[in-house]
Structure 1
Amino acid sequence: MIHTLRTTLLGSLTCLLLAVNTLFWCSLLFMLALPKWVLPKAWGRKRIDPVLNGIATRWIAWNSRWIGLIQRAPWDVEGVENLRYAGWYLVNCNHQSWVDIFVLQRVLNRRIPMLKFFLKQQLIYVPVIGLAWWALDFPFMKRHSRAALRKRPELRLEDRETTRRACEKFRAVPTSVMNFAEGTRITPEKHQASSSPYRHLLKPKAGAMAMALNAMGTKFESLIDVTIVYPDGVPSFWEFASGQAGRIVVRVRQVPIPPEFVTSDYTADSAFRSAFHRWLSSMWKDKDEQIDQIQATHR
């Protein structure tokens, strides 16, 4: 009873702090987003985007403070020592929970440029946060069913054009483009339905990553591959907010991007598609084995 009361109070206080922190920093974002929208695009991006990113970085830093206070279990993080807070990166990670985003932000904030996520179109309507994502140029992607794509193949071009436009914006200011290659959070049901060949992962989707590489050209310095493991079980947001997430293990490594990957067309070049799928599948196989090893070590 006392434990339940304690976690309820802690979770409620944490959510309140998160809301207050979000409203404070978002109000500053919105004040600058309007002039950016009105001013000429090139001038506005070059001068205002770094300020907007700086505000978001401080927003994340304050979130990381309360995360540090409530998460008593130790974080086991390796591979961030040689990251550089400059340049452009493509970041990839396995996806298990909304908690992944807080973990990524805490581990990578101020070590590399700010993470920009590809988001579902519907998320733009989330109160306050949706508008903040828009102000920070997070790309919103429309998700089409397989049936819709079979009926109207031209819909594939919409996401390609969205990716191209987003990456054109990212070229002006150092950015880390974040991609969950699985496309969704893994669950036992999704894992079984997808007939995934991996024990701990869904099959990776190559399209968004390949299009980002093609759109950014040689801007990307490397791929930052992140693996997150929750040895005590994947936490929900409430468990995370109330200090019940347990141990969190993060492994980060930089992977060189083959030069030919930034000049080839994923949609038109079948040989490149095959080579890219093999490259990504090999990375996923290594990630799956790494998760096995981490779980065995922390069991």
Structure 2
Amino acid sequence: MTSSPPALTRIRVGSAPDSWGVWFPEDPLQTPWERFLDEVADAGYEWIELGPYGYLPTDAARLADETAKRGLRVSAGTVFTGLHHGPAVWEQTWEHVSRIAALTQDTGAEHLVVIPSFWRDDKTGAVLEDRVLTPDQWRELTSQTERLGREVRDRYGLRIVVHPHADTHIDTPANVARFLDATDPALVSLCLDTGHYAYCGGDSVEAIETFGERIGYLHLKQVDPRVLAEVRAEELPFGPAVARGVMCEPPSGVPALEPVLAAAQRLGVELFAIVEQDMYPCPPDRPLPIARRTRAHLRSCGAR
């Protein structure tokens, strides 16, 4: 008889629209938002992210009503940025961020997930810019991210958590380390996504043990090593890679989530760990059974 792992008393697990195949505010291939809320609650989760702005209701009172009646609470909002372009994009960026930050604040959440812009289109694979930043672009990326962290904190009381992501300039362990070394820990924390970090060659347990004090949030996902090998060999963009199934249902992929969650627990701080299984597009009946099984797997890892 195997013993149960220790309870992860500091880890609050949840899920996100992404796990229902949602990447865009509106898309005929996506699960309707009411069904997402019904099913995420049915699967046993209490925490959700807002997903793409406009997918869930943007009226704070209506959103509060819709989540509360299902026993759900919001952990974070998500924004997309291209801050390596410097001050020229600040106004446009802030217009986007401020709307989402205001709604996130109104939900009672405390985090804003910041995703860098892609260097190639995630649907077509068209190369949009060089995949390697110049030293000047790195300086703009780090300084403008610090500015964003300060403004979001001062105006909305939120903490930004920057999400290393495939096909962006903050991707590999080397680039993540460079970004962290050049940013102020008081202003910029990290959202460590276990799937994206593995996709880009990283080890999440090692990351938590190396720069755990910078990790303010977790996304839980796994990659299928076989599909990832194909993706690398064919240099597939992220969108087609997801359509091929590179992000897979736990526990069939890597990294194993139990050691990751145990390492996070050892940090001694409260952390959200939000399941995000990229699978756009997907049939409407596919997400719920996966979500139920994933929630059961997380319980087996100690995430009560």
Please report the TM-score for the alignment, with normalisation by the length of structure 1. Answer: 0.31
Which protein is bigger by CA-based radius of gyration?
1
TM-score (norm 2): 0.31
Q: Which has the larger helix fraction? A: 1
